[in-house]
Amino acid sequence: MLQRLLQASLFMAVCAILFSSCVTRRNSVYLQPSGDNKKKNITFDEIYSEFERKEHQYHLKPGDVVSIKIGSLTNSEFDFINQYAVQMGEFLYLSPKTNVNNSAGGNQIAVNTRMQQQGENKNMFSDEGKPIAVGEPQSTGFVVDKDGNIELPNLGIISARDMTLLELENAVNSKLGGFFENPEVRVQLLNFSFIVLGEVNNEGQFNTYKDNTNLFEALAMAGSPAEFADKSKIKVVREDGSTSEVAYVNLLDESFLSSPYYYVQPGDVIIVPPLGAKAFRKYGIPDAMNFVALTSSLVSIIALIYSAR
């Protein structure tokens, strides 16, 4: 009788451990069908469902940093924009550390004046010739000032507030007509960074030049969600002026494709919570094993007492 009781208790404990620590398919597969799509049969090589997604274009605001690259048929000695950029530093890629040089109208990011291009470790120098402790070269960029303006050498001030990158390209291009032959302008946002925390394989702050980065791409940059990530309750913290917005999104539901939080915004904080199964595996299983060991010991002691009578 006692032996059967012990076997039953062990069996139930093992079953509870196995089922409670599993991550089901329902909790792990991205973009599962929702609504009427659940009843549809999967068909291949044709459109299964469609979701309307608003075209995303980032609008510049004060504090943004942009790089402006210009190409034209004009001889290089007349290319004052390029000469100015070379004097300030090379157009490469963004580094976490930047210094503001007020000598350029107060809105030019100062980068290295000399740079070693050879080798894995590239040294950077400040205007005083002192090395800057960074691992990557920095970009030259123009800051959108508090009034929403960008000041360009010889071209004057451009009102960039609420402009898209394409609109800023066109605005710069229109001012270059009197200086360059067939100018081509490319504008990139340099301060597009976001933070990913929680159940991912590589937490941290990430930079991107892609102004229409979506949430899947952001999570992929963070090493993707970990095994016990709760993809149904991803938290997005977004700054909007003086307020902070908090929203939850469900990556398991395909309707997320039409969510206003599908695209990441500069400054977003993305938090991936854990599933309850993680806590159970970390704490519940050891507790359950201790319970099983204690139960089996008690049953064995009781069995010995009864057998001694």
Residue 107 has pLDDT above 70, yes or no: no
What's the pLDDT band for 135 if we cut at 50, 70, 90?
very low
User: What pLDDT shows up at residue 287?
Assistant: 60
3-state secondary structure of 307: helix
For the chain, percent of residues with pLDDT exceeding 70: 60
209 residue type, one letter: Y
Of the two residues 115 and 253, the one the predictor is more confident about is 253
Name the residue ranges covered by the structural domains of the chain.
2-18+280-308, 65-189
Q: In the block, which residue shows the tokens 């205007």?
A: 127
Query: How many C-beta atoms lie closer than 10 Å to residue 255's C-beta?
Result: 15
User: What pLDDT shows up at residue 55?
Assistant: 77
pTM of full prediction above 0.85: no
The per-residue pLDDT for range 248-298, each reduced to its tens digit, is 999 999 999 999 999 999 999 999 999 986 555 555 556 666 666 666 666
Whether the CB-CB separation of 33 and 287 falls below 8 Å is answered with: no
Measured in residues, the chain has a length of 309
The per-residue pLDDT for range 185-223, each reduced to its tens digit, is 889 999 999 999 999 999 999 999 888 999 999 999 999
**CATH fold for domain 65-189:** wza like fold (3.30.1950)
3-state secondary structure of 299: helix
Secondary structure (DSSP) of 121-188: S--EE-TTSPEE--SSPPPP-EE--TTSEEEETTTEEEE-TT--HHHHHHHHHHHHTTT-SS-EEEEE
User: For residues 302 and 309, what is the distance between their CA atoms, to the nearest angstrom?
Assistant: 11
User: For residues 269 and 196, what is the distance between their CA atoms, to the nearest angstrom?
Assistant: 6
